[in-house]
Structure 1
């Protein structure tokens, strides 16, 4: 585990006792979230750490790796206690079966609905679908090949990734480069929501990842969702009845997209369904966290609220000076 990192996902919720919220991000080496990156802040005293999972952990090898990382953390911080939040029921059972303290808590529960809202598009229905995804093979962009008018929103790609996806989807609009007049332009906030508004449906096409942040962003912006079967937690948070789960087949993806587009569900209705699902999941998160904290730290231990957990921004990195400043002193 690394001693320091240049930026942090999550933050310190309480200073006394120390309570943190972090995210396990294997691709970046953050195997235990904030506490693993800054263990020196918690040495010699009891501390309590809530760990979310950016990627699926329901397979034996993934669970074993997490257990080993937590065991190494305990060697450095024997008084630290960690609660892992599971994105799905399968993940929850796998973690508990390995002796890991775990509770229900889909990562999408920590999204900020104030950022993502329906926006009136300049040209309604300009695109049949939008797919927000890195241009990497696991996202399976080729499954959108039968959609006539697809828009792609993505993080900065390699030239090889651009060429590969262009070959798979020659009719798609690569919007980040279109808006940048050929150069890549990042999208965020209202600009991002405004681009989503140009589409009728949001796509989720990977087979395996985490809950997929874009899925809740689609729904909060009022877009119904077409998704393939997947593990990792996104199916659990779909805004039913405004979603379709289909086989990994371009024709099936296109047919479901056309069906949802034709239904024309009001965007506020889709958003309301997403908010209802978020409220239910947040209630589960808070119950599990409160029970764990009171069991491990005592009945009078302050319990952070869901607003505190959203405020530390699990989906955007922050400078250490900001992220490591406790929200409250306890």
Structure 2
């Protein structure tokens, strides 16, 4: 018998999972973004009023930026976007908002070239404000990256989990109206909120959730009589996020033969065939529900 504990990006999701009798905890996955890569850079000059890091899909609502004078965009290929749809969006901005800059180069295959995290952080530091404009999506990694780099945030009303980061001192929720967004960008920029302060307050919000997740892992290990192995310093390796997608055979192979990653470096044990303690624990976790994390509503 196996039991799952669902990690949920919002408290609303926790309530939904509890409602069907399953164990769940509130753990916004973007707390795994590493503050060692996304950080304020004092030497970088501001070139943009705002920046938006998002793929060029319609649900990201790039049109809401058109009244911002100087806006930078980092982007990538995802979902239903095509070379043609991306080119059309960029052309629209070139015509209607000549102060907008699309930062990524386009590769020989017609796809945007992804930027390494250090370069993403550099471009974030070129901007005064970070933008979050989708209405419905999962937790938004870019929102965490903005704040760790010290950028205040303009967001539209949304569902999915990014509200976890919103702080009234440096985050403003604005109706999905391009004029309102441009005015809010100007107003928030004029406040000149210190970047180190934005970052400090964001880490204060993130760190308890990281500790809570470590406590969950330790509790699972204790339930299965596995050797308790603290994850230790977090994050423990360079990847900015721990979200990787695999086809079924790849996923099976990854489980059977785990390679070190942001957690693997700390959790690799001497279990069966080199499996990590975390994998072994997950497979055996059936005894009883962990009160602190798995309480049903």
Q: TM-score, normalised by structure 1?
A: 0.66
Show the counterpart of 1:297: 224
Maintained 8 Å contact 2:121/2:149: yes
Equivalent of residue 138 in structure 1, options 39, 59, 65: 59
* 1:127 paired to 2:57: no
Show the counterpart of 1:154: 75
Equivalent of residue 276 in structure 1, options 204, 215, 220: 204
Maintained 8 Å contact 2:132/2:143: yes
Distance (Å, rounded) in 2 between the aligned partners of 1:85 and 1:183? 33
* 1:111 paired to 2:33: yes
Distance (Å, rounded) in 2 between the aligned partners of 1:293 and 1:214? 32
Tell me the alpha carbon deviations over residues 79-123 of structure 1, each in whole angstroms, 9 at most, x when there is no partner.
Answer: x33211111110000011112221111101211111111123543
Distance (Å, rounded) in 1 between the aligned partners of 2:204 and 2:135? 25
1:177 CA displacement: 2.8
What is the number of equivalent residue pairs in this alignment? Answer: 248
Where is the strand percentage greater, Structure 1 or Structure 2? Answer: 1
Distance (Å, rounded) in 2 between the aligned partners of 1:290 and 1:238? 29
1:158 CA displacement: 2.5
Show the counterpart of 1:324: 259
Show the counterpart of 1:238: 166
Change (3 A) 1:240 1:285: farther
Distance (Å, rounded) in 1 between the aligned partners of 2:65 and 2:211? 35
Show the counterpart of 1:85: 7
Change (3 A) 1:276 1:230: same
Q: TM-score, normalised by structure 2?
A: 0.73
1:184 CA displacement: 4.0
Maintained 8 Å contact 1:208/1:230: yes
Distance (Å, rounded) in 2 between the aligned partners of 1:274 and 1:223? 11
Alignment of 1:252-291 (within 5 A): 252-291=180-219
Show the counterpart of 2:293: none
Distance (Å, rounded) in 2 between the aligned partners of 1:184 and 1:282? 33
Maintained 8 Å contact 2:31/2:144: no
Equivalent of residue 169 in structure 1, options 80, 83, 93: 93
Change (3 A) 1:143 1:106: same
Tell me the alpha carbon deviations over residues 63-91 of structure 1, each in whole angstroms, 9 at most, x when there is no partner.
Answer: xxxxxxxxxxxxxxx4x332111111100
Show the counterpart of 2:136: 208
In structure 2, the residue corresponding to 1:81 is in which secondary structure? coil
Change (3 A) 1:190 1:309: closer
Maintained 8 Å contact 2:151/2:195: yes
Gaps of 5+ in 1: 1-77
Distance (Å, rounded) in 1 between the aligned partners of 2:65 and 2:57? 14
Show the counterpart of 1:196: 124
Change (3 A) 1:186 1:121: farther
The alignment yields a C-alpha RMSD, in angstroms, of 3.0
Alignment of 1:211-222 (within 5 A): 211-222=139-150
Distance (Å, rounded) in 2 between the aligned partners of 1:148 and 1:94? 42
Maintained 8 Å contact 1:88/1:233: yes
Distance (Å, rounded) in 2 between the aligned partners of 1:266 and 1:151? 21
Change (3 A) 1:260 1:251: same
In structure 1, the residue corresponding to 2:173 is in which secondary structure? strand
Change (3 A) 1:304 1:252: farther
Maintained 8 Å contact 1:151/1:174: yes
